[in-house]
Amino acid sequence: MKTLLERMKQNMELKGFSPRTQECYHSYVKKFEQHYKRSSECLGNPEIKDYLEFLIKEKQASSSSVNQAYSALKFLYETTLDRKWVMKKIPRVKREKKLSTVLDREEVQSLFAVIRNLKHRFILMTTYSTRAFLNLLFQSFLPTPRWCTGDIPRLFYSVINCCCELKLLFRCIQF
C-alpha cells in the first residue's frame, strides 16, 4: 500500500504538474506534518488555518510562500484525500502591493551621466521620457490626479534633456 505522500505524488504526475511543483508541494506537506508530528489524514481545517497563521506570524514567510503552502495543502486534501475544501473557512493570503520606485531629478541625472555612448544615452532618455509621459497620461484618467507630485516638471525636464541629447547625437553623426 502506498503512503499518503506517494499517492499525492502520483496524483500530481497524473495532473501533469512540473517536477519543481511536485517537489515544492511535497516539501510543504512534509513540513506541515512535521509541525504537528502527525499524518495529514488526522488533521483538519483548524490545524491548516493555525499552520498558515504560524507561517505568516512566526516564520514571517512571504505571501507567495504561504500561498504555495495553501495550494499544496488544498491539493492534498481535495485530490489525494478526497475531502471538501471550504474556501471561506481557510482564506488565501492576499499579495502585498508594492509601489514602484520614483527617481528624483538628481538620481535621473546621475543615471544618464553614467552612460558615455550618446546613442545609448539617447535611447535611455527617450524610454524614460516616454514612460514618464505615459504614466502622467494614465494618471490623468484617475479620479484624483497627482498634480502635486512633480510629475509634470520631471516629464518636461526629461523631454528637454532628451532633445538636447538628440542635438548632440545628430552633431556627432556624419551623413
Handedness of CA 111, 112, 117, 121 (dihedral sign): positive
Please report, in tens digits, the pLDDT of each residue of the chain (175 residues total).
688 889 999 999 999 999 999 999 999 999 999 999 999 899 888 899 999 999 999 999 988 899 999 999 999 999 999 988 877 777 787 877 776 677 777 887 888 888 888 888 888 888 777 766 656 555 555 444 444 455 445 555 555 666 666 666 656 655 4
Co-location of 70 and 20 in the same domain: yes
Q: Provide the residue range defining the domain that includes 58.
A: 4-80
Co-location of 15 and 56 in the same domain: yes
pTM higher than 0.75: no
Q: What's the number of domains the chain is made of?
A: 2
Q: Tell me if 100 is assigned to some domain.
A: no
Q: Which domain CATH number covers 58?
A: 1.10.150.130
Q: Residue 16: its pLDDT value, please? A: 95
Co-location of 63 and 110 in the same domain: no
Co-location of 120 and 62 in the same domain: no
Q: Residue 148: its pLDDT value, please? A: 41
Residue 99: all three cell numbers together = 509601489
Cα R_g (the chain), whole angstroms: 27
Q: Tell me if 94 is assigned to some domain.
A: no
Q: Tell me if 93 is assigned to some domain.
A: no
C-alpha pair distances (Å), 157 with each of 17, 102, 131, 145, 161: 50, 15, 13, 20, 6
Q: Residue 7: its pLDDT value, please? A: 92
Co-location of 12 and 71 in the same domain: yes
Co-location of 34 and 70 in the same domain: yes
Co-location of 70 and 115 in the same domain: no
Co-location of 160 and 117 in the same domain: yes
Q: Residue 90: its pLDDT value, please? A: 76
**DSSP-assigned letters across all residues of 128-142:** HHHHHHHHHHHHTTS
Co-location of 109 and 147 in the same domain: yes
Q: CB of 48 within 8 A of CB of 84?
A: no
Residues 108-122 as b/e (b if ≥16 CB within 10 A, e otherwise) read: beeebeeeeebeebb
Q: Tell me if 89 is assigned to some domain.
A: no
Q: Residue 145: its pLDDT value, please? A: 41
Q: Residue 166: its pLDDT value, please? A: 62
Q: Tell me if 98 is assigned to some domain.
A: no
Q: Tell me if 28 is assigned to some domain.
A: yes
